[in-house]
Chains A and B, each alone.
Chain A
Amino acid sequence: ETGVTQTPRHLVMGMTNKKSLKCEQHLGHNAMYWYKQSAKKPLELMFVYNFKEQTENNSVPSRFSPECPNSSHLFLHLHTLQPEDSALYLCASSHPDRGDYGYTFGSGTRLTVV
């Protein structure tokens, strides 16, 4: 248990489905992130939230829609995805205001789009 919990661990969805990924942290962190990890590629930053406000959208297609209702929860809503969106989606949190520049990651959601 890393302190950052992601659900579900695995998800298979069709291209016309709508699903959501959930991330939860109770570490008192004030920043949360979504990263995408595709095979043999760097982790790609998707979204950054600081104090529930989105501060970064790294040119992510609109079929990915983040939501941060409070500083402990982060969602990634998915709709009309493509097979190339299949990847490991990682949530992370940090508290840069405390000088803590490292991330705590969740275990990820392995997404397969069919």
Chain B
Amino acid sequence: DQQVKQNSPSLSVQEGRISILNCDYTNSMFDYFLWYKKYPAEGPTFLISISSIKDKNEDGRFTVFLNKSAKHLSLHIVPSQPGDSAVYFCAASDMEYGNKLVFGAGTILRVKS
């Protein structure tokens, strides 16, 4: 049973437009959420995070939104750039029980120039 779901395997966006990647979770105990970015032949790298006490966190072109009632978070990239083309993984954890991260299956983002 997947506790973190990324239902869109891939997304294609035009350069300069907004990319929106979605993530849903089922475990109401999750209280910390992260997005990782992965290029081919490299390990995932941390992008941005949000704790459950917030509903928005922004870092440059990247913004993560959290809707706790819907158990949904999203990553917005504005404006999208070709270098953003990668696999994006959503991850969640329950900090009270340690920091084991549960990952989604990832979404492949392609930004077309």
A residues with a Cβ closer than 8 A to B are 2, 4, 6, 31, 33, 35, 40-43, 45, 48, 50, 55-56, 90, 92, 94, 96, 101-108
Neighbouring A residues of B100 by C-beta, 8 Å:
33, 45, 48, 56
B45 within 8 A of A: yes
Interchain nearest-CB distance for A44 vs B (Å): 8
Mask: chain B, 25-50; 1 = CB below 8 Å from A; 0 = not? 00000001010100001111110010
Which positions 98-113 of chain B face chain A at CB distance < 8 Å?
Answer: 98-106
Other-chain contact of B42, A101, A104, A107 (Cβ < 8 Å): A107
Neighbouring A residues of B46 by C-beta, 8 Å:
102-104
Interchain nearest-CB distance for A17 vs B (Å): 23
The residue on A at minimum CB distance from B34 is: A102
Other-chain contact of A94, B41, B43, B99, B106 (Cβ < 8 Å): B99
**Distance, CA A72 to CA B95, complexed state (A):** 23
Query: Residues of B within 8 Å of A, CB-based: how many?
Result: 25
**Distance, CA A101 to CA B93, complexed state (A):** 8
Q: From DSSP, what is the main secondary structure of chain A's interface residues?
A: strand
A-B contact pairs, 16 of them (CB 8 A): A42-B4, A42-B89, A42-B103, A43-B44, A43-B89, A45-B102, A90-B43, A94-B99, A101-B49, A101-B93, A101-B95, A101-B99, A103-B101, A104-B46, A106-B43, A108-B42
Q: Are A96 and B98 in contact (CB under 8 A)?
A: yes
Q: Are B43 and A31 in contact (CB under 8 A)?
A: no
B9 within 8 A of A: yes
**Distance, CA A92 to CA B103, complexed state (A):** 13
